[in-house]
Structure 1
Amino acid sequence: MGSANTDHDTSAARKAHVAALREAEQARQRRRRGLTVAASAVVVAALAAGAVFVVQARSDDGGGGKADAAAGATTGATTDGKNSGVGAKSAAGGRFVTGPDGVRAWQGTLSRNHVTTPVTYPMHPPVGGDHNPVWADCNGTVYTEPVKDEMAVHSLEHGAVWVTYTAKAAKSDVAALATRVKATPYTLMSPYAQQSAPIVLSAWGHQLGVRSADDPAVDGFLSAYVQGPQTPEPGASCSSGMMK
């Protein structure tokens, strides 16, 4: 009886946590729409007055300007305050260490520079490292085509869990996972050929491989790592990134 009550309490707490994440994400979207409307009004007023100003922002080191906001790009400072355009092996020298729960944790440095070129990751799917300035939309988003590693890694930086699967995964498992992802903010899902397990769940610095969607470890991973303590940028948006 005590175990049943504990399971019920855990399930209720997780549902409340997910609901709070969804409410926070919706609030961010409402604020973003309000800012967009306000910005549009300012532009219209400026055009009416015959004054259109173009401001080109450049970084202190003479780099390029900020990405077009309409493309959903962001160029915020990284951990070392710099943005780079050169792809690199961003987690060299590290290795996975498997815990008693089967979750593999990356032991090594995971850099967080924004780059616009492909990155060579030492693990697949990647669990961190340099990444594209644009994240993959991860507000319970299910992609039917592969997502660029560099964009998915940016989503992980925001606290998302990335669910990937190979052709070896059962269709029923793929459908069940898609339903779970759609109901869970800060998650995304896509096919991925270069992985050893039929189904893999990845968070920043952590990864779990399973053979079926009904493995209890799936729930455990989502509960632990959706906006979990490993998140480099907790609360960062999972919307307005790269869409389907």
Structure 2
Amino acid sequence: MGSASKPSTKAQANKPSGKQAGLDRRARIAELRAAEQRRDRRNKIIAGSVAGVLVIAAIATGTWIVVDANKDKKAKEAAASAPIDGVQTFGDLGRTHVKEKVTYPQTPPVGGDHNAMWLDCMGRVYDQPVENERAVHSLEHGAVWVTYNGKATPEDIKALSDKVKATPYSLMSPYPDEKGTITLSAWSTQLVVEKADDPRVNQFFTKYVQGKQTQEPGASCSMGAM
């Protein structure tokens, strides 16, 4: 029988020794660790840069928020001080609490002696006429009272209702006897318009809801007569 074949000298030469294999493995591990450390340092640099950008952005944003808030405040103050075309004012009016009915010179009334109990006016929409004497008390507390007669369209009534419901210190009710289609009343102040989309409606709300005409600033507009 023939003799067993021997491994080639070339294969033996290419096969690393145990010692060399161990060195190669440690070198590979060291290389991987170095690469991982480089990657960590790079990620930290990127994270730091992003954080710095975010801080700068936050500071810038905060600055702009303050500026915008100041601009908004100034715009509201300007709107509150600007005259509104067609607004009538009626001077000093009585403020005595009475139990009897009062004959008012304005229709709807804008102030004067009134009932001791005000109407709920935290965005309250009434579908029936309300008592003058209690509505006037609400005006004393800084409310705007929106009234309308039979000439107001359903669309106008809906738009005004939505406006009132979204506005604390306001109330709304029908007022069949008023001459104007839509009347906006605050204490000693009144405006008549024909349509709900008249820009003066928003101007009136801005200026007179808890405006300077308010006789009892901070007084409640809830817990009154329902």
TM-score strictly above 0.5: yes
Q: Percent identity?
A: 58
2:174 to 171, 187, 191: 191
Partner Cα separation in structure 2 for residue 193 and residue 160 of structure 1: 21
Gaps (5+ residues) in structure 1?
1-5, 15-98
Q: Deviations over 1:69-94 (max 9, x none)?
A: xxxxxxxxxxxxxxxxxxxxxxxxxx
User: 8 Å contact 2:135–2:145 — kept in the other structure?
Assistant: yes
The aligned counterpart of 1:159 is 142
The residue type equivalent to 2:86 in the other structure is G
Alignment of 1:128-167 (within 5 A): 128-167=111-150
Q: Which has the higher contact order (CA 8 A, sep 6+)?
A: 2
Alignment of 1:207-218 (within 5 A): 207-218=190-201
Alignment of 1:95-244 (within 5 A): 101-107=85-91, 109-243=92-226
The aligned counterpart of 1:68 is none
Change (3 A) 1:126 1:12: same
Per the TM alignment, residue 238 of structure 1 is displaced from its structure 2 partner at its CA by 0.4
The residue type equivalent to 1:121 in the other structure is Y
Partner Cα separation in structure 1 for residue 161 and residue 151 of structure 2: 16
Q: Deviations over 1:100-155 (max 9, x none)?
A: 61101113x31000001100001100000000001010000000000100000000
Please, what TM-score do these two structures have when normalized by structure 1? Answer: 0.59
Change (3 A) 1:184 1:11: farther
SS at match of 2:90: strand
Partner Cα separation in structure 2 for residue 212 and residue 179 of structure 1: 14
User: 8 Å contact 2:84–2:204 — kept in the other structure?
Assistant: no
The residue type equivalent to 1:139 in the other structure is M
Partner Cα separation in structure 1 for residue 84 and residue 209 of structure 2: 20
Partner Cα separation in structure 2 for residue 185 and residue 201 of structure 1: 15
Structure 1 residue runs of 4+, over 3 Å off?
9-14
Alignment length, in residue pairs?
A: 151
Change (3 A) 1:12 1:183: farther
Partner Cα separation in structure 2 for residue 194 and residue 238 of structure 1: 25
SS at match of 1:131: coil
Instruction: Supply the RMSD in Å over aligned alpha carbons.
Output: 1.9
Higher normalized helix content (fraction of residues):
2
Please, what TM-score do these two structures have when normalized by structure 2? Answer: 0.64
Larger-Rg structure? 2
Gaps (5+ residues) in structure 2?
1-67, 77-82
Per the TM alignment, residue 10 of structure 1 is displaced from its structure 2 partner at its CA by 5.0
Partner Cα separation in structure 2 for residue 163 and residue 10 of structure 1: 26
Per the TM alignment, residue 207 of structure 1 is displaced from its structure 2 partner at its CA by 0.2
